[in-house]
Structure 1
């Protein structure tokens, strides 16, 4: 009898060990320019209102015109799988072939451009708010890549204001986010347990701050005025280049060469951490595919080898930087830090170099340092409280007896009007 009880305990609790947070899967080398967006032109983290559409686009550079399929899954606030079955969060079907694709036109690099719009004839609508993951598979049912997105309901007002840090050690380097959540029609039951928040800087989930609890409750108003817990490094404005005309020098491009494909050599960048802050408008790490002569840049924009370089003079920071692991960082690759973005140090010229195959357009990027697995975004660019950053606050709520985490509100703020 005792043995049976032990077996029952193991059976009941073992499945919980298998539950883990889902992570996005990055694509193989032949999949490029993944653009996932809502009703805006820029590629970004899609946070769309329930009932609105979103678009996923990508290029396959292998020239095989392969078939790709998509699946959509619903997740809890902490990105563990929700218990909802597919019919509860989706009207229609997924696991469908992406039918909208075109081949490139008048380009040196041959590619097929795929476009998926949701909702569509097969996936008619997503019925509930919350966290979602879309996964793309090939003909062999192998996962090619996946991307997160969120759907919200407009049930609360989310006020977001950006302040300087109260900590004098970081007052020149950090920005903190104050939040006020209120609703006239929706009561918050046990808000410290049932209301959860996610603060996102520049659409980058990798650096997001999650699950702050309200410090004060006044009627049906939740107030968050943390200092260190809701503070982000200010960073610096992104560097940028534009190569919408690959045959002529554009912004940030110093030299052009044509081999098998066009090569664009950017001006060599220098470290900015030791220099005063200078306002330089950017698009907060984003990118936009453009072509000066194209009616449809999606299939007419070509791929270019873009050569990046970062100066590390020996007599200044060369000895400090040459032993660092430096990466090129931006939304063009979903803020991924791996071997594909790692720069190589040239000891003879005291410069870090890297070439990336990118589609024509306007790109934001910066250089970041990876120290023992920890990302340091300000080691080269610096951290300044004046930096213009975009912040989004996503509010989750699970009422008593509910089976999933709703997103009941979205707030947005910008540090351009930062105050004390």
Structure 2
């Protein structure tokens, strides 16, 4: 069995987005729902800001993908009623903010684009004038054709007993005939909606009538990680959660409470939203266009630089990617890493990631990894029968770690 943990080999972003595109979100309309893995027919809203504020025309493009995120064999007419590419026409300018921006939003499905098949989809935003792909986001549409059970427990491996979590799952499929699970079924385990932390290429360990079970001892282990750090900038002129100082320059600058690296760090419960973020402001009626931007100042105290490694600020705010803009620089005068990043007002989770000379990413080196950490795991079940044209998603399952297990 081959286990692929993509998160270790995350690719570096090349700055395609650039500084001008900020606050990208792709989410259902329900409040406090951050997942782009939704039932077929659910409305997802894509939104983002262009800080250049010059009225560019952007288009969205939708492509159906295979279970391993390669372009599928289907034509767009086979999975979309309408157009797979169209202009984003919901465009509004910021109001009463120090940082000017243009806010773009589009809902899918809409009158021009109705998706008819389940599966993986890649949503691209394209600059109409240059035909350049500005950024992409993944989403998954599923059908409730099978019942998926997911259980999460402490690792059974003595070496990782205190630092890893084990995921087990079962697929109950009374209405689907599966002749060859090894060829027809693909399972992806996803941690905290982060596509850089997945386990794939699993085969069932037990076969029963209308049921498949995946009960590995070690092959479905994830590092527990730690609870995310957070800040709240809903008040642009006044201090809020974890903001120690505010300065006004061309825009507001918020200085966060420093974090101190401790290699003997122990677990402390701190409720988080698993790396996600929420745009909000208490100084306007519409956060989409009245929330301002502030320069957030991050400080990480470390007695010395990490040997042959770079440090980055990391979270859903940058799609869990390693970006040059989020790189921290070491200050030898006060033995700390520092970074300044622009954020729209809101509540944000973040952590720190290290990257070595082989481009291996480690999100646990700074903040630690513990079996007690509260994580959410999603099992995505793809089904492509012999002779089938595409990978459909027949169900998903959710599992949460419970310390009492």
Q: TM-score range with shorter-chain normalisation?
A: over 0.9
Give the deviation of 1:293 after TM superposition: 2.5
Q: Does 1:134 align with 2:123?
A: yes
Change (3 A) 1:35 1:297: same
Tell me, yes or no, if the aligned pair for 2:189 and 2:380 is still in contact at 8 Å.
yes
Tell me, yes or no, if the aligned pair for 1:390 and 1:413 is still in contact at 8 Å.
yes
Q: 353, 357, 369: which one pairs with 1:383?
A: 369
Give the deviation of 1:324 after TM superposition: 2.8
Long gaps (5+) in structure 2: 1-10
Give the deviation of 1:341 after TM superposition: 1.1
- The match for 2:191 is 201
SS in 2 for 1:391: strand
Q: Does 1:353 align with 2:341?
A: no
Q: In structure 2, what is the Cα distance between the partners aligned to 1:307 and 1:377?
A: 20
Change (3 A) 1:276 1:23: closer
Tell me, yes or no, if the aligned pair for 2:40 and 2:142 is still in contact at 8 Å.
yes
Give the deviation of 1:333 after TM superposition: 0.5
Equivalence map 1:122-271=2 (5 Å): 122-123=112-113, 125-140=114-129, 141-271=131-261
Q: In structure 2, what is the Cα distance between the partners aligned to 1:114 and 1:418?
A: 44
Change (3 A) 1:306 1:209: same
Q: Deviations over 1:325-367 (max 9, x none)?
A: 1111100000111211110000110010000000000000001
Change (3 A) 1:163 1:287: same
Q: In structure 2, what is the Cα distance between the partners aligned to 1:185 and 1:34?
A: 39
Equivalence map 1:310-321=2 (5 Å): 310-313=300-303, 318=304, 321=306
Q: Does 1:398 align with 2:384?
A: yes
Q: In structure 2, what is the Cα distance between the partners aligned to 1:322 and 1:291?
A: 40
TM-score (norm 2): 0.94
Long gaps (5+) in structure 1: 1-21
Q: In structure 2, what is the Cα distance between the partners aligned to 1:93 and 1:56?
A: 17
SS in 1 for 2:366: helix
Say what the alpha-carbon RMSD is for the aligned residues: 1.7
Q: Which has the higher helix share?
A: 1
Tell me, yes or no, if the aligned pair for 2:229 and 2:349 is still in contact at 8 Å.
yes
How many residue pairs align between the two structures? 392
Tell me, yes or no, if the aligned pair for 1:55 and 1:118 is still in contact at 8 Å.
yes
Q: Does 1:69 align with 2:54?
A: no
Tell me, yes or no, if the aligned pair for 2:283 and 2:291 is still in contact at 8 Å.
no
* Structure of larger gyration radius: 1
Q: Deviations over 1:89-131 (max 9, x none)?
A: 00011321101111001000000000010111211x1010111
